Amino acid sequence: KVVIVDYGSQVTQLIARRVREAGVYSEIHPCTIPLDDLKAMQPSAVILSGGPASVSDEDSPQLDAGILGLGIPVLGICYGMQLIANELGGSLAQSSDREYGRADLSLLADSPLWDGLPKEGVHKVWMSHGDKVLAPPPGFEVIGRTKNVDVAAMADENRRFYAVQFHPEVHHTEDGAQMLRNFLFKVAGLKGDWSMSSFAEAVIGELREKIGDRKVVCGLSGGIDSTVVAVLLSKAIGDNLHCIFVDNGLLRAGEGTEVVGYLDEHFKLQLHYVQAQEEFLSKLRGVDDPEEKRKIIGRTFIEVFEREAKDIKDVSYLAQGTLYPDVIESVSFKGPSAVIKSHHNVGGLPDIMELDLVEPLRELFKDEVRKVAVELGLPDFVIWRHPFPGPGLAIRILGEITDERLEILRQADRIVQDELHASDWYRKVWQGFAVLLPLKTVGVMGDDRTYEHVIALRVVDSVDAMTADWTRLPSEVLARISSRIINEVKGVNRVVYDISSKPPSTIEWE
Ligand code: XMP
């Protein structure tokens, strides 16, 4: 196993991700971890992450010199490099301007870290740093430089200490993944035979140990994240897991209930299925402002959830399907301690619930969650289900939500889902759905004039929902969706296709 010591970089989890992609198990631990605890994990190598601090700052997180005494390979990245240099007697230059972005790295010496990389020419790397190393510590050789940084990479091959000023873990560092693999395989001699199935196994074991015979409550939405959390917990603690599924009346036709039914059948969950349609819909009556809708739904969800959870006696934990991107987006970073302490609730519940959190997917990205789901043997319809927003159809009905308008949208949306499946486009796109617009247009049907609703079709490609582009669906697929909606859904006489990208638009319309 490789231990990544976190000094608070925004991209620490990417290091873990790259190491896992190379087939090596890794764990991230805060830089405050006691040396004895770290030793007890018997790591084969340690990676020191980057971080926002400056080594010379008064309260800056420091390196426990004992790590360098363990006799195992160490790779320092950015701040991690400065810590090594500082500890072993190199000299550092403080700089008030930070350098961000692309730099060209020239390789100065042969090194296992550069194995398989062309020695000539430059390698695109991504920098983000203030301080830099001026002179390496005794025993180190400079193995790479950029225009602004003379010591961009250094190595002490005898002690197997390596350090780089740039970030090999980010996508923009072209050969970064290869450099990390070199560190793991050529320097640390690891094998690369670990996979996501071992992740599931390890997590189930850890959950069992951490939770013991206490009870956990988990909100199930029918989406893949909460589903995977529920399955992991069910395997870890069985009947002590209590799942709550809230039907807010804003679900798609069949949305959620299919997954919940499947889970119930296959994993025999203690499932609390809460019918709260009327509670939500009555509070939304007459409301057309998007933010107001979201707030009402969020608040009502908490009320319902809390009420249900209270009925379950002696609950100690709340489980959530928080993913890594939720963590980076919602935590404003102020240094390692901010992250370590923040039992940050991303979904909206725990502040009120006063329960300890269990977030087994906190270090994963969506595609990794899908891999875990595959390993757990979940069916395709769970794994490939498109994301569906918490506020549900409420934010896809522009204007007021009425039973009639919900029904129109459900029918139109069902056709969109069916046709995406039938044309084999469902798996290729990030999300596809219908939106009901708050206007009517004139049409002609038979000999009669009609004056009816408009449906907008939104289908997008994306990898992480941060950016998205509209999908170039073949015109036959668009034609079929449009004619089916207009013919089959009463009250709709026009369909339009949304051709906006995110940014500047968003994926959802509200
Ligand atoms: P936007 O519209 O911001 O959506 O481009 C990005 C992704 O997030 C989903 N989304 C939500 N998910 N609660 C959720 O759980 C919400 O309030 C919410 N709003 C948007 C959206 O479907 C897309 O995948």
Q: Is 223 in the pocket of ligand 1 (CB under 6 A)?
A: no
The residue from 123, 129, 167, 344 that is catalytic is 167
Using alpha carbons, select from 270, 261, 284, 198 the residue that is nearest to residue 20. 198
Ligand 1: which residue has its CA nearest to atom 19? 389
Q: Is 209 a catalytic residue?
A: no
Binding-site positions: 221-227
Q: Determine the atom of ligand 1 nearest the C-alpha atom of 506.
A: 5
139 vs 418: CA distance, rounded Å: 65
pLDDT at residue number 334:
37
Contacts of 275 (CB under 8 A, 6+ apart): 247
pLDDT at residue number 328:
59
The residue from 31, 123, 169, 363 that is catalytic is 169
Ligand 1: which residue has its CA nearest to atom 9? 389
Q: Determine the atom of ligand 1 nearest the C-alpha atom of 509.
A: 2
The residue from 78, 359, 363, 419 that is catalytic is 78
- The domains located in the chain, with CATH, are 2-187 (3.40.50.880), 196-383 (3.40.50.620), 397-497 (3.30.300.10)
Distance, CA 465 to ligand 1 centroid (Å)?
A: 8
Element containing residue 214 per DSSP (H, E)? none
415 vs 85: CA distance, rounded Å: 62
Using alpha carbons, select from 386, 468, 457, 465 the residue that is nearest to residue 426. 386
* CB of 425 closer than 8 Å to CB of 432: yes
65 vs 85: CA distance, rounded Å: 12
pLDDT at residue number 344:
33
Diameter of the chain by CA atoms? 91
345 vs 330: CA distance, rounded Å: 9
Distance, CA 226 to ligand 1 centroid (Å)?
A: 15
pLDDT at residue number 339:
33
Distance, CA 303 to ligand 1 centroid (Å)?
A: 21
Q: Is 172 a catalytic residue?
A: no
- Cα 112–chain centre separation: 32
Q: Is 197 in the pocket of ligand 1 (CB under 6 A)?
A: no
What are the respective helix, strand and coil percentages of the chain, to the nearest 5? 40, 25, 40
168 vs 179: CA distance, rounded Å: 7
pLDDT at residue number 57:
86
Q: Is 390 in the pocket of ligand 1 (CB under 6 A)?
A: yes
pLDDT at residue number 96:
67
What does DSSP assign to residue 22?
A: T
Q: Determine the atom of ligand 1 nearest the C-alpha atom of 430.
A: 24
pLDDT at residue number 95:
73
- Cα torsion angle, 119, 121, 123, 127, sign: positive
Q: Is 43 in the pocket of ligand 1 (CB under 6 A)?
A: no
Distance, CA 389 to ligand 1 centroid (Å)?
A: 5
pLDDT at residue number 346:
39
- Look up residue 4 and give its amino acid: I
51 vs 367: CA distance, rounded Å: 26
Ligand 1: which residue has its CA nearest to atom 7? 465
Neighbours of 174 (CB within 10 A): 16
* CB of 82 closer than 8 Å to CB of 136: no
Q: In order along the chain (510 residues), what is the average pLDDT of each group of 10 residues? A: 91 90 90 93 96 88 95 97 96 80 93 94 89 95 94 97 96 94 97 87 94 94 92 96 94 84 88 95 96 92 89 90 70 35 40 79 87 92 91 96 97 98 97 97 92 98 87 98 98 98 92
Distance, CA 41 to ligand 1 centroid (Å)?
A: 38
Binding-site positions for ATP: 221-227
- Ligand 1 pocket test target in 508, 509, 510 with most atoms within 8 Å of CB: 508
Q: Is 506 in the pocket of ligand 1 (CB under 6 A)?
A: yes
Distance, CA 84 to ligand 1 centroid (Å)?
A: 42
Distance, CA 283 to ligand 1 centroid (Å)?
A: 22
- Cα torsion angle, 244, 247, 250, 253, sign: positive
pLDDT at residue number 19:
95
Q: Is 157 a catalytic residue?
A: no
Q: Is 431 in the pocket of ligand 1 (CB under 6 A)?
A: yes
Q: Is 389 in the pocket of ligand 1 (CB under 6 A)?
A: yes
